[in-house]
């Protein structure tokens, strides 16, 4: 099967799995996932599975990328914070849907590689830094949207504080639990509202910076 056919098959799987937003599907279609996976796994780039990227991290399952991105309810005028750049794949998808993406990665080597991939794809609306993503990026707050790609023990109050009123954060909750849940947090004038979007499995969100 050709790469084009594998991608078409994956998109059909995503639709069947609940990713119905055409803009999200188009962003995934335009993002070459094979550029974001290690060479030994490139033949699996369009399989609907998570794949290792080093440092005990993974590139997320495309189904999860699609559902999380869809849950953000993005428009092209929004400023987005991504906590956990990883390979840069989710970053690239977000960049096609938002005005600007700010992304934080605690592993400097992963971030360097991700930035190279984004540059090669001529993606220019991403600003990245190495750091503790659990602290957010207060200098650039508020954000209309925040996407957390690692599981927190509970909803991170510092990140909620960096959401604009009316903003949305998508975060996996239950870092140490066998069953994590994807949660949508909406910032309100009075505080925040939460909605359970279903079970997921992510690596834990680590609060302290990695050794350089």
- pLDDT tens digits for 20-48? 999 999 999 999 999 999 999 999 999 99
What residue spans define the domains of the chain? 3-200
Helix-strand-coil percent breakdown of the chain, rounded to 5?
Answer: 35, 30, 35
Q: In angstroms, how far is CA 187 from the centroid of its own chain?
A: 19
- pLDDT tens digits for 53-98? 988 889 999 999 999 999 999 999 999 999 999 999 999 999 999 9
60 is catalytic: yes
What residue has token string 């849950």?
Answer: 71
Q: Is 3-200 in CATH node 3.40.50.150?
A: yes
The pLDDT of residue 144 is 98
Average pLDDT taken over every residue of the chain: 93
Two tokens, residue 201 = 């499995």
In which band, very low, low, confident or very high, does the pLDDT at 208 lie, cut at 50, 70 and 90? very low
Catalytic residue among 60, 87, 95, 134: 60
Mean pLDDT of the region 133-147: 97
User: Above pLDDT 70, what percent of the chain?
Assistant: 97
Residue 67: other Cβ atoms inside 10 A: 22
In terms of pTM, does the model score above 0.75?
yes
Contacts of 208 (CB under 8 A, 6+ apart): 132
Look up residue 54 and give its DSSP letter: E
- φ/ψ (deg, to 5) at 145: -145, 145
The pLDDT of residue 178 is 75
């Amino acid at each position: 099967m050709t790469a084009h056919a594998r991608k078409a098959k994956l998109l059909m799987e995503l639709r069947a799995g609940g990713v119905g937003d055409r803009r999200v599907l188009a962003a995934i279609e335009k993002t070459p996932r094979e550029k974001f996976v290690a060479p030994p796994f490139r033949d699996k780039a369009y399989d609907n599975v998570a794949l290792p990227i080093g440092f005990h991290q993974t590139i997320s399952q495309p189904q999860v990328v699609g559902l999380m991105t869809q849950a953000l309810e993005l428009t092209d005028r929004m400023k987005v914070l991504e906590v956990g750049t990883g390979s840069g794949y989710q970053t690239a998808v977000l960049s096609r849907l938002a005005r600007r993406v700010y992304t934080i990665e605690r592993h400097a080597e992963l971030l360097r590689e991700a930035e190279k991939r984004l540059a090669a794809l001529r993606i220019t609306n991403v600003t990245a830094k190495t750091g503790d993503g659990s602290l957010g990026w207060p200098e650039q707050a508020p954000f209309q949207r925040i996407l957390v790609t690692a599981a927190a023990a509970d909803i991170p109050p510092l990140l909620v504080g960096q959401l604009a009123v009316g903003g949305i954060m998508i975060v996996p909750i239950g870092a140490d639990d066998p069953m994590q849940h994807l949660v949508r947090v909406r910032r309100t004038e009075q505080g925040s509202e939460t909605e359970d979007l279903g079970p997921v499995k992510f690596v834990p969100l680590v609060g302290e910076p990695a050794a350089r």
